[in-house]
Amino acid sequence: MVNMKFSVSVFLMICFSLMGLGSAIRCYSCKDYTASCSKQRDCSYDDACLTLTERGGMTFRQCLKYSDCEHSRLGQMFPQVSSFTFKCCNSDLCNSAHSAAATSLIGVVASVVVTWWVTR
């Protein structure tokens, strides 16, 4: 019985960790000087969410092909921005002003529940 519980728990942990892989993501999509972006957009399956911040404050948030997520390529795509920092991520709404870790939290909670279930 313990072996079967262990096998089921390993299976569930793998399922929870793979949740969301292979599907399109949602990103915030706007440009502004504030952190109040609320417009969302469905992206393509091979996209990432971009946050590009210009020195001086303008922030661009949008979907972007993950392969374009490199400094030189972004410099070509945003020629009006001379100096910037950027971050690309690949989970739903991860390009918010505040770090959103809902997907990670679900995985942690699921792992704790499975571990509790196996050890009881």
Residue 2 binned pLDDT confidence (cut-offs 50, 70, 90): low
The 8-class DSSP code of residue 68 comes to G
What is residue 49's three-state secondary structure? Answer: strand
pLDDT digits (tens, 9 = 90+) for 48-72: 999 999 998 899 999 999 999 999 9
Percent of the chain surpassing pLDDT 90: 49
> How far is the C-alpha of 61 from the C-alpha of 37, rounded, in Å?
8
CATH class of the structural domain 2-119: mainly beta
